[in-house]
């Protein structure tokens, strides 16, 4: 039961619902156990010739009342127990999602999104089934089975011993097949995760698949995974295919023993005809717990395997997002001291001994060769990845000592990948600022996007496709810039935010950003010199090292990397 310790607190919180559900279930089981007693008395009176219309009518009304009560209380236990399992599923899903979005970036990058999706859907369903109907079946197996056994022994202990000999075989089957069920279901869930990831990855990059005419290859690749999934499911079905029929054989064997031994006892007068009928009914009642035993084992092994997979996610470390506005630094000067950073052991350093001072309110341009560490530098400022201690400071405070939520509130960011949600343009722009709906139009205008939005049939209420696929690259970038502007954070990071814009739009956007920025510190990452040439300070990176610092005029006067990049771009634009 160790994997299920995760939901122990939830069970305690809902103990009255669960207790009420099991109370209703007990009433249902007791009424079911009383039904054969009513039949016994009726059959005995019929056999003895003492039955009257009144006694039969009384038995009919009693059975009708039992049926109505069973129906009502069965509804109650379903609402309480199955309803609780549904709420538990909601609780776990919300907890999982909240956990996933708080994982550190290195952990997120190391995981496959499809695997996490499978755990939040397929695995949660298995846990819900185990916790809901599985618990009901387990209770019935124990309570109904034990009670039926007591009634059987009350009628005839000797006949009960004979009829229940097949029970030993059921226990042996369960003990032998239970580990196989657990292993095979865990394999099935793992392959389902692989399939989910394959679908997610292919749909995310479907334009690449189409551009390279790889539809057939991707379909074959998915088909291979799908066949593996079906094969593993069939392996699981084979185990269950042995399990349930053997249990049914044992149940029917018990009935055969009853007919052979119980019939002779009835003829001999050891038990009455009514006892024989009641014994037969109780034996059929006992058949359900015998069958449910296999189902319970199946549900439990599925739930245990799935709960282990869910716990693996819940046990991952998460970021501490506690905010403390009083802990925010007074000054926003950014100081970088001898910063070196490696994404993972064995990988080349992304940054090497970088040192710089970025004054508050300045426009800082960051450029350099491809993969020189420009984006990494800004990711470290946001603590998407933790920099080494004593390397990055804001207002003289190590950013590792600033509460994460308080630190990130200092920044607004336009990432290199201009991501939009499948929502309206208005919601995309106001994403990072609650209660800022009145500022949406102004920020769209500042980002040079208002004219494009007004040309759309529904304007700001236009719903963009997944990742903003219905917009051009330049439009997505400008919507993301408007999103960054609306938060009004004191530090703005623009990571290659104008790469899809033409020269004139870039010039207008840059001028407007400088105008509305006021005292904002702006970090503009760009490979295009024209985007950053008016910056107050420019940092030039090459292979993770800071090789030059200065203004555009100072850097072009030197014979360095910046000048070579500038002259090369001038030649390309001239051509």
> By percentage, how much of the chain surpasses pLDDT 90?
12
Q: Rounded to the nearest 5 degrees, what angle is found at the Cα of 323, between the Cα atoms of 320 and 327?
A: 115
Q: Which residue has the tokens 């200092």?
A: 410
pLDDT of 144 above 60: yes
Going by DSSP bridges, is the β-strand pair 351-358/334-341 parallel, antiparallel, or unpaired? antiparallel
Give the residue from 316, 256, 336 showing the smallest Cα distance to 109. Answer: 316
pTM across the whole model: 0.72
> By percentage, how much of the chain surpasses pLDDT 70?
92
pLDDT the model gives residue 213? 74
pLDDT the model gives residue 237? 77
Higher pLDDT, 513 or 325: 513
pLDDT of 336 above 70: yes
For residues 269 and 175, the answer to whether their CB atoms sit within 8 Å is no
* Distance between CA atoms of residues 136 and 29, nearest Å: 11
Q: Give the residue-averaged pLDDT of 123-129.
A: 85
2-314 falls under which CATH superfamily?
Answer: ABC transporter type 1, transmembrane domain (1.20.1560.10)
Higher pLDDT, 350 or 330: 350
Q: Give the residue-averaged pLDDT of 281-307.
A: 75
* Distance between CA atoms of residues 367 and 312, nearest Å: 41
Which of 93-107, 139-153, 195-209 is most confident?
93-107
pLDDT the model gives residue 208? 67
For residues 12 and 91, the answer to whether their CB atoms sit within 8 Å is no
pLDDT the model gives residue 300? 81
pLDDT of 549 above 90: yes
pLDDT tens sequence across 519-548: 788 898 888 888 888 888 999 999 999 999
Q: What residue spans in the chain does CATH classification 1.20.1560.10 cover?
A: 2-314
CA distances from 400 to 332, 392, 393 (A): 15, 8, 9
Q: Which of 91-100, 168-177, 364-373, 516-525 has the lowest mean pLDDT?
A: 168-177
Q: Return the axis-axis angle of helices 15-48 and 273-314, rounded to nearest 10°.
A: 160
pLDDT tens sequence across 58-95: 888 888 998 899 899 989 988 988 888 888 888 888 88
pLDDT the model gives residue 458? 86
Q: Give the residue-averaged pLDDT of 12-33.
A: 88
Which of 173-177, 203-207, 296-300, 324-328 is most confident?
296-300
pLDDT the model gives residue 241? 72
Task: Give residues with Cβ within 8 angstroms of 308, minimum separation 6.
Answer: 3, 186
Coil, helix or strand for 14? Answer: coil
Q: Which residue has the tokens 């292919």?
A: 202
Q: Give the residue-averaged pLDDT of 29-37.
A: 82
pLDDT of 207 above 80: no
pLDDT tens sequence across 462-511: 888 767 777 888 888 888 888 888 887 888 888 887 777 776 777 777 77
Coil, helix or strand for 165? Answer: coil
For residues 34 and 67, the answer to whether their CB atoms sit within 8 Å is no
* Distance between CA atoms of residues 8 and 6, nearest Å: 6
**How many Cβ atoms from other residues are within 10 Å of residue 64's Cβ?**
10
pLDDT tens sequence across 96-117: 888 888 888 888 878 777 778 8
pLDDT of 573 above 90: no
pLDDT the model gives residue 393? 93
pLDDT the model gives residue 1? 47
Beta bridge partners of 523: 364, 493
Q: Give the residue-averaged pLDDT of 37-58.
A: 78
Coil, helix or strand for 306? Answer: helix
pLDDT the model gives residue 353? 93
325-574 falls under which CATH superfamily?
Answer: P-loop containing nucleotide triphosphate hydrolases (3.40.50.300)
Give the chain's mean pLDDT.
82
pLDDT of 397 above 70: yes
């Amino acid at each position: 039961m160790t994997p299920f310790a995760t939901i122990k607190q939830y069970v305690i919180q809902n103990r009255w619902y669960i207790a009420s559900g099991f109370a209703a279930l007990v009433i249902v089981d007791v009424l079911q156990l009383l039904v054969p007693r009513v039949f016994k008395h009726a059959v005995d009176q019929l056999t003895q010739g003492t039955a009257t219309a009144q006694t039969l009518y009384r038995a009919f009304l009693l059975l009708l009342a039992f049926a109505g009560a069973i129906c009502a209380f069965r509804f109650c236990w379903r609402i309480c127990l199955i309803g609780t399992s549904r709420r538990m599923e909601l609780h776990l899903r919300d907890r999982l999602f909240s956990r996933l979005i708080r994982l550190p970036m290195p952990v997120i990058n190391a995981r496959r999104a499809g695997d996490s999706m499978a755990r939040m859907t397929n695995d949660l369903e298995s846990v819900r089934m185990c916790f809901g109907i599985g618990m009901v079946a387990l209770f019935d197996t124990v309570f109904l089975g034990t009670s039926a056994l007591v009634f059987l022994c009350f009628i005839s202990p000797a006949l009960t011993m004979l009829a229940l000999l097949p029970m030993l075989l059921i226990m042996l089957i369960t003990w032998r097949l239970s580990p196989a069920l657990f292993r095979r279901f865990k394999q099935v869930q793992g392959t389902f995760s692989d399939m989910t990831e394959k679908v997610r990855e292919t749909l995310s990059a479907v334009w690449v698949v189409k551009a390279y005419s790889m539809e057939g290859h991707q379909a074959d690749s998915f088909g291979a995974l799908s066949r593996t999934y079906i094969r593993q499911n069939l392996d699981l079905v084979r185990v269950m295919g042995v399990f349930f029929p053997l249990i049914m054989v044992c149940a029917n064997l018990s009935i055969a023993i009853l007919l052979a031994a119980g019939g002779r006892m009835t003829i001999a007068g050891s038990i009455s005809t009514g006892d024989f009928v009641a014994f037969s009914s109780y034996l059929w009642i006992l058949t359900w717990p015998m069958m449910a035993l296999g189902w319970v084992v199946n549900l439990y092994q599925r739930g245990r395997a799935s709960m282990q997979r869910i716990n693996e996610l819940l046990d991952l470390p998460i970021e501490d997002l506690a905010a403390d506005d009083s802990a925010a630094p007074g000054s926003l000067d950014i100081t970088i001291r001898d910063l070196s950073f490696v994404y993972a052991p064995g990988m080349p350093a992304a940054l090497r001994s970088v040192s710089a001072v970025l004054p508050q309110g300045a426009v800082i341009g960051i450029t350099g060769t491809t993969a020189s560490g420009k984006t990494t530098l800004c990711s470290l400022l946001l603590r998407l990845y933790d920099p080494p201690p004593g390397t990055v400071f804001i207002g003289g405070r190590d950013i590792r000592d600033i509460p994460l939520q308080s630190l990130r509130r200092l920044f607004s960011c336009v990432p290199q990948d201009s991501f939009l949600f499948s929502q309206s343009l208005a919601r995309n722009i106001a994403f990072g600022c609650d209660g800022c709906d009145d500022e949406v139009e102004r920020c769209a205008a500042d980002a040079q996007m208002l004219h494009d939005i007004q040309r759309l049939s529904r304007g700001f209420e236009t719903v963009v496709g997944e990742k903003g696929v219905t917009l051009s690259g330049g439009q997505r970038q400008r919507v993301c810039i408007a999103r960054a502007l609306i938060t009004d954070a004191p530090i703005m990071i623009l990571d290659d935010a104008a790469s899809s814009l033409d020269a004139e739009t870039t010039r207008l956007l840059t001028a407007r950003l400088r105008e509305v920025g006021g005292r904002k510190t702006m970090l503009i990452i760009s490979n295009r010199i024209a985007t950053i040439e008016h910056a107050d300070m420019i940092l030039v990176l090459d292979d993770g090292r800071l090789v030059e610092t200065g203004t555009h005029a100072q850097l072009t006067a030197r014979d360095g990397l910046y000048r070579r990049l500038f002259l090369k771009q001038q030649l390309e634009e001239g051509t």
